[in-house]
Amino acid sequence: MYAVVTAATVLGVQAILVRVEAFVSGGLPNFTVVGLPGAAVQESRERVRAALKQLGLPLAPSRIVVNLAPADVRKQGPAFDLPIALAVLAADRHLPAAALERVMAVGELALDGAIRTVPGAVSVGALAAEAGLQLVTSPVNALEAAIVPGVDVVGAATLGDAVAHLRGIRRLTRVTAAAPVQGGTDGLQRAAESDDSDGLDLADVKGHSAAKRLLEVAAAGRHNLLFTGPPGAGKTMLASRLPGLLPPLTVTEALEVSRVRSSAGLTVGGGLDLRPPFRRPHHSGTEAGIIGGGSVPRPGEASLAHNGVLFLDELPEFSRSVLEALRQPLEAGTVVVSRAHGAVTLPARIQLIAARNPCPCGRLHDESGEGCQCSPEQLRRYQRRVSAPLLDRIDLRMTLPRLTDDELLAAPFGESSAGVRRRVTAARVRMLERQGCVNAELSGGMLRLHAAPEPSAEPVLRALVERLELSARGFDRLLRVARTVADLAGSRAIGPTHLSEAAAYRGP
């Protein structure tokens, strides 16, 4: 007998429809899985055998062939255990084949028949909703998939529960997620009033008023930022408070973030999380771990920071290959991982926040202590670790001095993150209503339309181009930053003061 059930495999963060076909016939007992199955899929035969025996439906001595179509796509992971078991049961007449027609099944089977979680439930849920299929999976995966609008998903704790549901004996309850808390620019302003700073408040940072203003500009326009300064100057302290200044994600952005997290095996559930992600990988991370990749391409830290912040502390200590590979996501918002069997595109629209010392010992231009002990050659090698093309993709750069004794002892605490976040959100709303994207993403005709300086500012712009010797990319980035400064000031046009402030943030 023949039966088929729909399943899915996840490549990168994209779910692909897979038809699991089972054929049971007489002959020498054998259980074969074809259709480019990986090692974990091949091992599913033993898990399926044990789970069916626990269910009281052991496989009769027969020839079983399971085909995973399309056969030219590599199938990886244990997510095919549940659909293979259901297809074999239907082919062996223990389950009505018609009950599987409008069902998608995904899940790993334990030897006792329990259904375990698998990565990529959000992407699979989106595919099931698009195909109009009911998704049957584990309870944890069902909570993850339920955040997808319009998905019909049920959670089965065991294979027996899934079989009883499909037979109509004991129907499982549809799983639903909590409704998103906001939508549109009005909801953005309301949600910005909530405190998602995790206790890290900008008011805790003494002094550094210019650096705090720079952080505000970066948060509003989603501009890339680099702090340079000696150890203890406050670079990491400032960068770690950026999440408290960021507006919440839109529903669409939050869904994209959830798909990436789910595909990477990080549990997602209980409703959409509207907080922008903040990832802080160690400088010893590999290119595959930070950018993404591997023999089976998986999201890296750059993709996990999609629609959020990637903070690279001690920037020159990262490997050259990692830093150069960052140029593509910073420019295009995606990472393309090419392998012999094809290319996988991973989302990576990130805001890069980086910090570095001015030299290997960290005391260059530092007037306290014994001063820099690095040789000229050590200094040159250290500075070459961050290439000019990468620096040209960083909109905002500032050298952060160490606080003086008087500043450390007497400097008053500054404005709270909540107050800055309100200005940032108001500026972000202006951008979205005017052009539909943040200023850091303006390019081409949109940049010329929305970031053209007013006539009185053109002489200032010409003088800045000549003094700073800007490249074409640097010129565009100067206009983008000036547009953000104007938005924070509530100005419709870019004036001379906005251009001058933007130019001051280009740093060394």
**pLDDT of 203-232, one tens digit each?**
888 888 899 999 999 999 999 999 999 888
Higher pLDDT, residue 131 or 445: 131
> Is the full-model pTM beyond 0.85?
yes
Distances (CA, A) of 394 to 136, 144, 218, 222, 387: 45, 35, 11, 11, 11
Structure tokens at 369: 């202590």
4 class by beta-carbon count within 10 Å (0-12 exposed, 13-18 middle, 19+ buried): buried
- DSSP 8-state secondary structure symbol assigned to residue 454: P
Q: Is 68 helix (H, G, I), strand (E, B) or coil?
A: strand
- Listed by start position, the domains of the chain span 2-167, 185-359+387-437, 442-508
Contacts (Cβ under 8 Å, ≥6 apart) of 265:
119
Structure tokens at 84: 């293979």
Contacts (Cβ under 8 Å, ≥6 apart) of 299:
12, 13, 260, 263, 264, 292, 346
Question: By the 8 A CB rule, do 63 and 13 touch?
Answer: no
Structure tokens at 179: 């409704």
381 bridge partner residues: none
CATH 1.20.90.10 fits 185-359+387-437, yes or no: no
For 442-508, give the CATH class.
mainly alpha
Contacts (Cβ under 8 Å, ≥6 apart) of 81:
44, 47, 48, 51, 107, 108, 109
Whether residue 185 has pLDDT greater than 60: no
Over residues 10-38, the mean pLDDT reads 93
For 2-167, give the CATH class.
alpha beta
pLDDT score recorded for residue 208: 85
pLDDT score recorded for residue 341: 72
Cα-atom radius of gyration of the chain, to the nearest Å? 27
Which of 79-88, 127-136, 296-305 has the weakest average pLDDT?
A: 296-305
Whether residue 182 has pLDDT greater than 70: no
Whether residue 448 has pLDDT greater than 80: yes
pLDDT-derived band at 190 (thresholds 50, 70, 90) equals low
Same fold, 185-359+387-437 and 442-508: no
Which of 80-89, 431-440, 486-495, 499-508 has the weakest average pLDDT?
A: 499-508
